[in-house]
Structure 1
Amino acid sequence: MYLTPSTLVGVADIGLRAGALPAPRSIGGTRTEGNGMQSTSPWTRLTRDPYPLGEGLRLVDGVVHWVDLEGGVLHAWTPEGGAADTHRLDMPIGFAERAPDGRLIAAAGAGVVELSIFGDHTRLADTGLDPAHHRVNDGAFAPDGSLWFGTMARGDEPAEGSVWRWDAVTGEVTRLLPDIDIPNGPTFLRGGEHVLIADTTKGRILRARVADVTALETFAEVEGGSPDGLHVDPQGRIWNAIYGGARLDVYAVDGTLLAQVPVPAQNPTSALVTRDGRVIVTSASNGLDEPGEFDGHTFAAPLAAVLPA
């Protein structure tokens, strides 16, 4: 059973923590395939239906969130409660995060909105881009409390992307980087002095000092797919979802490739490592002629099963 805003509005944390939803299948173990054979894959789907573009994994108040980006839906999940919709917007939503001042902020449409506990939203800032031709993508709060986020062209529009900064105090929006066709991330490294940005179309991850973001250097070159969402795990390792590569690349802070973790979806889009030892992954099914069992789903596995110590 999946709850919609009419039944869950305002109780994302309370209802989920209280186990208002039935728990999903346990992570790991075996499952029966269509041919009757038992699979020992560690991955388990957390969603019932696939998304064209699942994205934006975040941990908010102890609850895992992700988005159906083009559908404008924010989802929440806990091991005890399962998954539920918390907000439905009339525009694309890239991600939602808790701001330092406690507000739940999302990049949506072509700007920034605040999400209320009642399931609605308030427009906070616009980039000035036409939402018919551009949309938000990925982003994160910086250590100084500002929100960094990307925009990109929609559909068949000519590639045109940027990275922006929204000042949560003044409300001002500033274009930081105008020439990254599809920016993913940004994500901030421990210490807060450096930021990583995936330049998806050029197959590279960029690194810069937060104080001088225009002085970009290459953190990593990616082959066999395109770098999508970035995540810094509790140990400081950097996880990168490789769209089209059916894997997650794991880096040390100096850019050394530590591991490549296969996933059961062709187009993983974001990853999240939780403190209780799970790896959670979103994925996309759009553009696939014959989506597989996990394509477009959000799924999870025990960290120890996919990246042994």
Structure 2
Amino acid sequence: MAYEVEMIADFRTRVGEGPVWDPKRQILNWTDIQTGRLFEYDPASGKSRKIYQGEYIGGYANNKRGGFVVASWSGIGLWREGEEITYIHQGTLHGMPLQFNDVTAGPGGQFYAGTYYEDGRRAKLYRFDPDGGITIVQEDIGTSNGLGFSPDLSTSYYVDTQQRRIWAYDFDADSGEFSNRRDLVVLDGEEGFPDGLTVDSEGFIWQAMWGGGCVIRIDPDGKEERRVKFPATQTSSAMFGGKDLNDLYVTTAWNGTGENEPPYDGSKHRGGELYRVRIDDVQGKAEFETDFAWPE
């Protein structure tokens, strides 16, 4: 199946990540983790701009009470354009620094955020609740990455990039608990490493492959249904947007992350741009929002 892939913004992101669509504003945001920048793209005008420069931000979510909940390399906080981050949790947690990578909002307004450490320390996936509660969802992680939920909220999905695994869990939407972890997909690394993901309205996972230059659509049983190729090898994450949620936005990165990278063909372009591709026969589903109150 052939697709028309369009490059819509080029900020030469070192580690472009975390695309999030805001259906209220009809705006896409994304981050460059290793330069501490946040961007937005407005499809109506075709214009994109930088909206933040500061802390390294691994991920963020739209917040019902305004602004974003952000997960930086310093902690968890709330942020609005033109302001500094108002931190809720900062420093260390359970003896580990709060250096975050990918995140997502849960159906109860929770904020799921996983850590990543360049020195090889094992990471964790946390759930931060609006009432201040903090739960360790998963420990002993290499690189915490993509997170998502099935449309009926019976299943949650979670990626450990270093272990090249996409896990499925039983999900309790009332409590936000993950249980009964099992392998959904185990990849061999020859086509890259699983990174960020999103789940469409039919319950299929759209998995970005770091080093693979593609996004793979995977059915709920773990079988590949199709793949969309991009002119950059380091495809890092994916998100559906647009009025009808038929536009797939994909972030890429030009900078390598160090060890455990796939072998690269130096003649190929790594990335740094934001891409969009129309998927006419598939519709995404709206992402959840966090529900955190701003400190008085």
TM-score range for the pair, normalised by the shorter chain length? 0.7 to 0.9
1:162, distance to aligned residue in structure 2 (A) = 0.9
Whether the 8 Å CA contact 1:282–1:299 is kept in 2: the answer is yes
2:194 to 227, 231, 235: 227
2:231 to 236, 240, 264: 264
More helix by share: 1
Give the aligned residue type for 2:151.
Answer: R
2:123 to 138, 161, 174: 161
Which runs of structure 2 are paired with 1:103-182 in the superposition (5 Å)? 103-126=67-90, 128=92, 135-154=99-118, 157-169=119-131, 171-182=132-143
Whether the 8 Å CA contact 2:59–2:100 is kept in 1: the answer is no
1:65 to 29, 33, 53: 29
The structure with higher relative contact order (CA 8 Å, sep 6+) is: 2
Q: Deviations over 1:260-308 (max 9, x none)?
A: 221111110001122353221101111378575571211112224999x
Equivalent residue number for residue 204 of structure 1: 165
Whether the 8 Å CA contact 2:10–2:272 is kept in 1: the answer is no
Whether the 8 Å CA contact 1:87–1:120 is kept in 2: the answer is no
User: CA 1:261/1:299 → structure 2, altered by over 3 Å: closer, same or farther?
Assistant: same
Q: TM-score, normalised by structure 1?
A: 0.77
Q: Per the alignment, in what secondary structure is the counterpart of residue 153 of structure 1?
A: coil
Equivalent residue number for residue 286 of structure 2: none
Whether the 8 Å CA contact 2:240–2:246 is kept in 1: the answer is yes
In the alignment, the residues of structure 2 paired with residue 43 and residue 125 of structure 1 have an alpha-carbon distance, to the nearest angstrom, of 39
Whether the 8 Å CA contact 2:207–2:237 is kept in 1: the answer is yes
Q: Per the alignment, in what secondary structure is the counterpart of residue 232 of structure 2?
A: coil
Q: TM-score, normalised by structure 2?
A: 0.80
Whether the 8 Å CA contact 2:91–2:97 is kept in 1: the answer is no
1:130, distance to aligned residue in structure 2 (A) = 11
Give the aligned residue type for 1:183.
Answer: S
1:85 to 23, 29, 50: 50
Number of aligned pairs? 264
Give the aligned residue type for 1:267.
Answer: Q
Whether the 8 Å CA contact 1:208–1:214 is kept in 2: the answer is yes
Equivalent residue number for residue 255 of structure 1: 222
In the alignment, the residues of structure 2 paired with residue 191 and residue 180 of structure 1 have an alpha-carbon distance, to the nearest angstrom, of 27
What is the root-mean-square deviation of aligned Cα atoms in Å? 2.8
Q: Per the alignment, in what secondary structure is the counterpart of residue 70 of structure 1?
A: helix
More strand by share: 2
Equivalent residue number for residue 278 of structure 2: 302
Matched, 1:279 2:248: yes
User: CA 1:147/1:306 → structure 2, altered by over 3 Å: closer, same or farther?
Assistant: closer
Q: Per the alignment, in what secondary structure is the counterpart of residue 201 of structure 1?
A: coil
Whether the 8 Å CA contact 2:113–2:125 is kept in 1: the answer is yes
1:158, distance to aligned residue in structure 2 (A) = 1.8
Structure 2 portions without partners, runs of 5+: 257-263, 284-296
User: CA 1:281/1:255 → structure 2, altered by over 3 Å: closer, same or farther?
Assistant: same
Whether the 8 Å CA contact 2:147–2:198 is kept in 1: the answer is no
Equivalent residue number for residue 12 of structure 1: none
In the alignment, the residues of structure 2 paired with residue 182 and residue 151 of structure 1 have an alpha-carbon distance, to the nearest angstrom, of 7
Aligned-pair identity (%): 23
1:179, distance to aligned residue in structure 2 (A) = 0.7
Equivalent residue number for residue 152 of structure 2: 191
1:243 to 185, 210, 232: 210
1:112, distance to aligned residue in structure 2 (A) = 1.0
Give the aligned residue type for 1:279.
Answer: L
Structure 1 portions without partners, runs of 5+: 1-39
1:229, distance to aligned residue in structure 2 (A) = 0.3
Q: Deviations over 1:212-271 (max 9, x none)?
A: 525310111223211100101244321000111111110122323211221111110001
1:168, distance to aligned residue in structure 2 (A) = 1.3
User: CA 1:210/1:101 → structure 2, altered by over 3 Å: closer, same or farther?
Assistant: farther
1:197, distance to aligned residue in structure 2 (A) = 0.4
Query: Which is further off, 57-66 or 282-291?
Result: 282-291
